[in-house]
């Protein structure tokens, strides 16, 4: 093989090397960059939603949150389910009568405030749509 032909073939070769791993850089707001505002939505004859909004101090944008679905038993409020943004994921927690998480569903990772906002929308939708199921499971001790 001539030197010229060998170089031409060499130029046409595909580079076979391991793919570079995709960097998943999760996002969380800087401590001190947001303020917490608390809310409660009493649902007459049903229970209530309570929770917290972490709002960016400069922009007012939602950067962190927690929403709990609660029922009242003998004057005490109990969490039956919760959606929150702890650990840089949006999670749905199903809670037992002792308050422990018996199932945690990761809805999606948080790469920016847009994922937090999307989590608020989907989280409240899940808590509302599955209200009966969450309450029934909690009352059944599961």
Q: Are 124 and 51 in contact (CB under 8 A)?
A: no
- Among the listed ranges 73-81, 90-98, 104-112, 126-134, the one in contact with another protein (CB under 8 A) is 126-134
CB of 107 to another protein, least distance (A): 16
CA atoms of 7 and 99, how far apart (whole Å) = 69
The residues in 35-54 that bind another protein, with binding defined as CB under 8 A, are: 37-46, 49-50, 53
Instruction: Tell me whether residue 97 or residue 135 sits nearer to another protein (CB atom).
Output: 135
The residues in 64-83 that bind another protein, with binding defined as CB under 8 A, are: 67
CA atoms of 70 and 127, how far apart (whole Å) = 10
What is the DSSP code string of 2-37? Answer: -HHHHHHHHHTPPP--PPPPPP-----PPTTSEEEE
Q: Pairing state of beta strands 62-73 and 47-56? A: antiparallel
SS3 content of the chain, % helix, strand, coil (to 5): 25, 40, 35
Instruction: Tell me whether residue 8 or residue 133 sits nearer to another protein (CB atom).
Output: 133
CB of 78 to another protein, least distance (A): 17
CA atoms of 137 and 142, how far apart (whole Å) = 5
Instruction: Tell me whether residue 9 or residue 59 sits nearer to another protein (CB atom).
Output: 59
Q: Is 86 in the site for another protein (CB under 8 A)?
A: no
Instruction: Tell me whether residue 15 or residue 119 sits nearer to another protein (CB atom).
Output: 119
Binding site for another protein (CB under 8 A): 37-46, 49-50, 53, 55, 60, 62, 67, 117, 120-121, 124-125, 128, 131-132
């Amino acid at each position: 093989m001539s030197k010229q032909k060998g170089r031409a073939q060499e130029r046409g070769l595909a580079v076979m090397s391991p793919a570079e791993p995709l960097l998943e850089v999760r996002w969380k707001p800087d401590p001190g960059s947001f303020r917490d505002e608390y809310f409660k939505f009493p649902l007459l004859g049903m229970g209530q939603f309570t929770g917290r909004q972490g709002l960016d101090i400069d922009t007012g944008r939602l950067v962190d949150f927690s929403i709990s679905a609660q029922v009242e038993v003998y004057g005490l409020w109990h969490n039956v389910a919760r959606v929150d943004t702890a650990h840089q994921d949006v999670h749905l927690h199903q809670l037992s009568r002792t308050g422990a998480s018996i199932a945690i569903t990761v809805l999606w990772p948080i790469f920016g405030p847009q994922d937090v906002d999307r989590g608020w929308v989907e989280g409240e939708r899940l808590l509302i749509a599955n209200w009966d199921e969450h309450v029934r499971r909690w009352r059944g001790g599961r």
